[in-house]
Amino acid sequence: MKLALRDVSYALAPPLIAQCAVDALIAEARLTPKPALVDERGSGAHRDLNLDTMLRSARALHPTFLAIARAASHAEPSQALREQLARIGREGEAAMMQATGGSNAHRGAIWIVGLLSAGASMNAPGEIDAICFSAAKIACFDDRYAPIATVKSHGARAAERFRVTGARGEAREGFAHVRRIGLPALDDARARGLAESDARLDALVAIIASLDDTCLLHRGGMPALEAAQRGARAVLDCGGVASGAGRRALHALHDALMKLNASPGGAADLLAATLFLDSLRRLP
């Protein structure tokens, strides 16, 4: 692994990695109908976000992902790299906030897709496990300069309160919900001949069914998480969103979460990560 990390001649160019990252965020935002999330129908359970805001945020993050990919392209996971990427990420958050007028559209995605962008700079595009594990090694280092607001974010507080791993744990454990759930669900749906939008929705629902989503926990506590996981499993038990019963179950999940004013934002970030890695492995 160390030799592979030093030889980056086969890795993608940082501009292509950055564009794939932005494209993944845009694809996730446009995917419709998602349960209680921003999509082409409306704002879901978010009062301060809409599709236009999400698209502005995604495009504003291109320089961030580009800087992350460039910083990691000739490096190995280390304390210094972790803190360099954290600084770039905070600059990206500022750019996001400026683009959205102060709304948090993609803070979680900056962390998740940003780390994977770094991993993509260290490995060949088809080496999905290697990309994830390189990103995980970076995430295992602490950011000694992290502001208190980052350490005590809504997600971090929910993870501590409900004793779940959260986004930080997901990264440090190698993005299991992307590798073991999101991508396999996407592949299975495509193998069954589903439309691409339905395949992506199935991947999202599969992630929701398994993930201890701190966005749900922050907004609605354990009742919201349980409702989301129960509703997502119902969609899967019906054969997925492409079936009539599955589509009805998806709408029921949306209605349940809207009543709780909670949205599976963590699952949405992991779907974006799934689409990002999928786009890398499908490059010619």
- Residue 9: predicted pLDDT: 60
Amino acid at residue number 191: A
- Residue 11: predicted pLDDT: 79
Token reading at 142: 């602490």
- Residue 147: predicted pLDDT: 78
Q: How far apart are CA 187 and CA 200, in angstroms?
A: 10
Q: How far apart are CA 180 and CA 212, in angstroms?
A: 15
Q: How far apart are CA 254 and CA 232, in angstroms?
A: 10
First to last CA, the chain: 24
β-bridge mates for residue 39, sequence order? 42
Which H or E run includes 243? none
- Taking residue 32's Cβ as centre, other Cβ atoms within 10 Å add up to 14
pLDDT in tens, 160-216: 786 777 889 999 999 999 999 999 999 999 999 999 999 999 999 999 999 999 999
- Residue 156: predicted pLDDT: 72
Q: How far apart are CA 272 and CA 108, in angstroms?
A: 10
- Residue 266: predicted pLDDT: 96
- Residue 151: predicted pLDDT: 54
- Residue 152: predicted pLDDT: 59
- Residue 5: predicted pLDDT: 42
pLDDT in tens, 264-281: 999 999 999 999 999 999
- Residue 3: predicted pLDDT: 38
What residue ranges of the chain have pLDDT lower than 50?
1-6
Amino acid at residue number 40: E
H helices within 75-175, ranges in order? 79-100, 107-122, 128-139, 148-151, 154-162, 166-172
- Residue 46: predicted pLDDT: 94
- Residue 29: predicted pLDDT: 98
Give the predicted TM-score (pTM) of the model: 0.94
Sequence ranges of the domains in the chain:
2-281
The residue with tokens 């400026």 is 98
